Amino acid sequence: MVAEQITEHGLVDDPHLRRGARGYPLLPGGYGRSTYYTGRPSPYAVRGEGYRVWDDRGREHIDANNNFTSLIHGNAHPEIVEAAVRALSAGASWGIPNLDEWELAEQLMTRLPSLDQVRFTNSGTEAVMAAIRIARGSTGRDRVLVTDGGYHGTSDVALVPGGPSYTRGVPRGVIDDVTPIPLNDVSALHAAVEAAPAAYAAIILDLLPNRAGLLHITDEFVHSARELASRHGIVLIIDEVISLRLGYHGISGEYGIEPDLLTTGKTIGGGFPVGAVAGRGELMAEVDPTKPNSLPHGGTFSGNPVSMAAGAAALRLYPESEVLRLNALGEIVRSSVSARIAGTGWTVRGQGSLIRAVPEGVNKVDDATQHRLWWESYERGLLGSPANLLSLSTPMDKAVAVDLADRLADAVIAVSDKQD
Ligand code: PMP
Measure the CA angle with vertex 236, ends 230 and 241; round to 5°.
160
Question: Which amino acid is present at 186?
Answer: V
- Percent of the chain clearing pLDDT 90 (strictly above): 92
Q: Where along the chain do the CATH 3.40.640.10 domains lie?
A: 78-316
Cβ-based burial of 356 (10 A; exposed 0-12, middle 13-18, buried ≥19) = buried
| Contact present, 307 and 272 (Cβ < 8 Å) | yes
Locate the ligand 1 atom nearest the alpha carbon of residue 243 and give its number. Answer: 3
- The whole-angstrom separation of Cα 351 and Cα 362 is 17
Atom 9 of ligand 1, nearest CA residue? 153
Q: What percent of the chain has pLDDT over 70?
A: 96
Would you say domain 78-316 falls under CATH 3.30.70.1150? no
Residue of 63, 100, 255, 266 marked catalytic: 266
Select which of 51, 151, 255, 318 is catalytic. 151
CA of residue 49 relative to chain centroid, distance: 22
51 is catalytic: no
Nearest-atom index, ligand 1, CA of 124: 12
pLDDT digits (tens, 9 = 90+) for 267-309: 999 999 999 999 999 999 999 999 999 999 999 999 999 999 9
Instruction: Just give the CATH number of 33-75+320-419.
Output: 3.90.1150.10
> For residue 264, which phi and psi values (nearest 5 degrees)?
-150, -175
**Mode of pairing for the β-strands spanning 178-181 and 143-147:** parallel
Q: Whose CA is nearest to atom 10 of ligand 1?
A: 152
- Residues 72-88 have pLDDT tens digits of 999 999 999 999 999 99
Residue from 100, 50, 390 nearest 242 by CA: 390
pLDDT of residue 417: 79
DSSP state of 285: G
* Ligand 1 first shell, C-beta below 6 A: 68, 123-125, 128, 151-153, 206, 239, 241-242, 265, 275
> How far does the centroid of ligand 1 lie from the alpha carbon of residue 156, in Å?
14
pTM of the model: 0.96
Sign of the Cα torsion 115, 120, 122, 127 reads negative
User: Is 151 part of the annotated catalytic residue set?
Assistant: yes
Active site residue: 14, 148, 239, 410, which one? 239
Confirm whether 367 is a catalytic residue. no
Residue type for position 255: Y
Where do the CATH 3.90.1150.10 domains begin and end in the chain? 33-75+320-419
The predicted pLDDT at position 293 comes to 96
**From CA 1, how far away is CA 35, in angstroms rounded?**
20
First to last CA, the chain: 21
Mean pLDDT of 144-157: 95
